Amino acid sequence: MLTGVLNTLVGNAVMFLAYNLLELGYWTSSCANYLTGGVISFLLNKHYTFGSKGKSHQELLKFVINVGVCWLVAYGIARPAVIRTLRVYPSDIQDNISMAVGAVIYFILNYFGQRYIVFREKGGETE
């Protein structure tokens, strides 16, 4: 739980700073979140959360695919849903809320992807 909270806090801080201070845009800012949080997440989850003894290159490939798919799905769902719901608000408010909603969806999808795909246990041991 602490791993997820830590990488989420750091990644979200990067995302909202990139969007609101650096004005990098929705997709670039959310990507910065997933890249920053992804590095922290992989290292902490591999060694501490799931205690994986698997080969790093295989897990890393699965991890990158998982994170990429989760990012596209989460932020791809969040933005249109929020824009439709909050169409009377300015675009910067819509984007900030979309990024917050996307972060929640991403957190859930990514956890299950890592738990059941990336660091999946097989026969009592992690692959």
φ, ψ of residue 44 in degrees (nearest 5): -70, -45
Cα separation, 86 vs 88, in Å, equals: 6
CB 92 within 8 A of CB 16: no
pLDDT in tens, 21-37: 999 999 999 999 988 98
Token pair of 41 as six digits: 């997440």
Q: Give the pLDDT confidence score for residue 127 in this predicted structure.
A: 44
pLDDT in tens, 38-90: 888 778 877 776 666 666 788 788 888 998 999 999 999 999 999 999 999 99
pLDDT in tens, 77-101: 999 999 999 999 999 999 999 999 9
